[in-house]
Amino acid sequence: MAADPVTSTAGAHLADAPDAEGAVAPVQEAFDGNARLFERAQRRIPGGVNSPVRAYRSVGGAPRFIRRASGPYVYDAEDREYVDLVASWGPALLGHGNPAVVAAVKAAADRGLSFGAPTEGEVELAELVHERVHRDGRSPIERLRLVSTGTEATMTAVRLARGATDRPLIVKFAGHYHGHSDGLLADAGSGVATLALPSSAGVPAEIAAQTLVLPYNDESALRLAFERHPGRIAAVITEAAAANMGVVAPDAGFNRVLVDVAHAHGALVILDEVLTGFRVHAGGWWALDPAGAVDVDLIAFGKVIGGGLPLAALGGRASVMDLLAPLGPVYQAGTLSGNPLAVAAGLATLRAADDAVYARVDAAADRVVAAVTGALSEAGVQHAIGRAGNLFSVAFGLTAPPRDYDEVRAQEAWRHAPFFHALLEQGVSLPPSVFEAWFLTAAHDDRALSRVEEALPAAARAAAAATPRA
């Protein structure tokens, strides 16, 4: 029997209380705690949050303010326990507070927080990424430059591609998110889709015009773009498998076609593995892709590579990467790039993420997908599951997994809010947007997964009872 999140004594301070039963806060009080914090937050922080999708705008209510996390669980301001299916939006591959990672960070902190000078850890991390992202005897990562966020990694990749080709245009796909740099915010999925913003204010039209947005998985649109803009496209940037409009895997062989077409026209290919890298496989989607490894020029990493600390990276072909300063003319820099704590967290995470870890995450994902499908089918909710390795998402109202952003947007997104809240009330924390992937970790054990399985039928009934919002 799964623990009732409302009466659970699993939180450390509740478990320590002499009368754990009596120490448990009633539901209303718990919700008021988050609501009070949200009120205070909104007075001093725009929207009360430091990243938009955390704000629960598409599902309503006050976001849960998280006080601590452990393994597969997060605990809110009232110490309510939730099975966490957000995993910090991806980084927590091993689960929260993995002892090896925490110990590595503490040891690094004892040695100093930031030096602004090269460290041995950075070298080890570059070597480790080169070794892990490997297939058929070769690695696409001949060089690696560390940065602090995925946004920086893709932004630098774009600058590098322009510097390498001396061309202005970038091709991206609708619904793909590559961070919030100006040129990459067009039709960017998830947070932007949730907020129903077509793009972002503050991006000059001249900059937006340098980005061509194409439908995903559409080979003819890609060929046409190159025919229409001969000699002007610097690079195609693509999520290795799209996971910011819900999960939409590339059609079999699409990434290969993309590389072939781009290279035939002298353009580079930037594979964005910020979300998929080291999560779906030890070598990311690049190594897992059933259609084989593709010959990309640059790969952006983030999330798992930092193990929960601000770290991201750009890697790739030496002939392109060596155009970066100080060797080449393309400038890029960062005061905290390669921060020793973040590098320690990344190294410890990647070293711990062995085959057994990926097998556990995959098995956990299989189990939750089966439970979601079963519960929604039982409740009579038409749905499709988009899936790429251990990443997946639910598309309500569709009969087949969506292949592009238009199909994603055709779903019955309004079923998500009641589904989400029914899970939350039962102690399961799902991403508060239907356009996000569900994240499992290696720490999702039988207890946590059983809790999800037991919560899903009521959530599926809530989704079935939902009606479109006016």
- Positions annotated as catalytic residues are 177, 272, 303
Return the structure tokens found at 339. 């921060």
By Cβ distance, which residue is nearest to ligand PLP? 150
Indicate the residue among 81 and 272 with the shorter CB distance to ligand PLP.
Answer: 272
Sign of CA dihedral 413, 448, 352, 76: positive
Give whole-number Cα distances, 398 to 381, 385, 388, in Å.
Answer: 10, 9, 18
Minimum distance from CB of 80 to ligand PLP (Å)?
Answer: 26
Residues contacting 463, CB < 8 A, separation 6+: 376, 379, 381, 396, 415, 416, 418, 419, 422
Indicate the residue among 274 and 424 with the shorter CB distance to ligand PLP.
Answer: 274
Q: Which residues make up the interface to ligand PLP (CB under 6 A)?
A: 89, 149-151, 154, 177-179, 239, 244, 272, 274-275, 302, 312
Sign of CA dihedral 109, 110, 115, 117: negative
Which of 181, 378, 170 lies closest to 274, judged by CA? Answer: 181
Residues contacting 278, CB < 8 A, separation 6+: 93, 132, 284, 301, 303, 304, 305, 349, 350, 353
Give whole-number Cα distances, 412 to 176, 177, 375, 465, 469, in Å.
Answer: 20, 21, 17, 12, 10
Minimum distance from CB of 149 to ligand PLP (Å)?
Answer: 4
Q: Which residues pair with 212 in a beta bridge?
A: 171
Indicate the angle between helix axes 340-352 and 120-132, nearest 10 degrees.
30
Which of 25, 3, 2, 4 lies closest to 14, judged by CA? Answer: 25
- Give the torsion through C-alpha atoms of 178, 183, 186, 192, to 10 deg: 60
Minimum distance from CB of 370 to ligand PLP (Å)?
Answer: 26
Indicate the residue among 305 and 452 with the shorter CB distance to ligand PLP.
Answer: 305
Cis peptide upstream of residue 326 (ω within 30 degrees of 0): yes
Indicate the residue among 53 and 357 with the shorter CB distance to ligand PLP.
Answer: 53
Amino acid at site 295: D
Give whole-number Cα distances, 313 to 55, 100, 151, 234, 309, in Å.
Answer: 27, 22, 10, 20, 13
Kind plus residue range of the DSSP H or E element containing 223: helix 219-228
Minimum distance from CB of 455 to ligand PLP (Å)?
Answer: 26
Give whole-number Cα distances, 200 to 48, 197, 400, 466, in Å.
Answer: 19, 7, 31, 30
Alpha-helix runs per DSSP H in 317-354: 318-321, 340-352
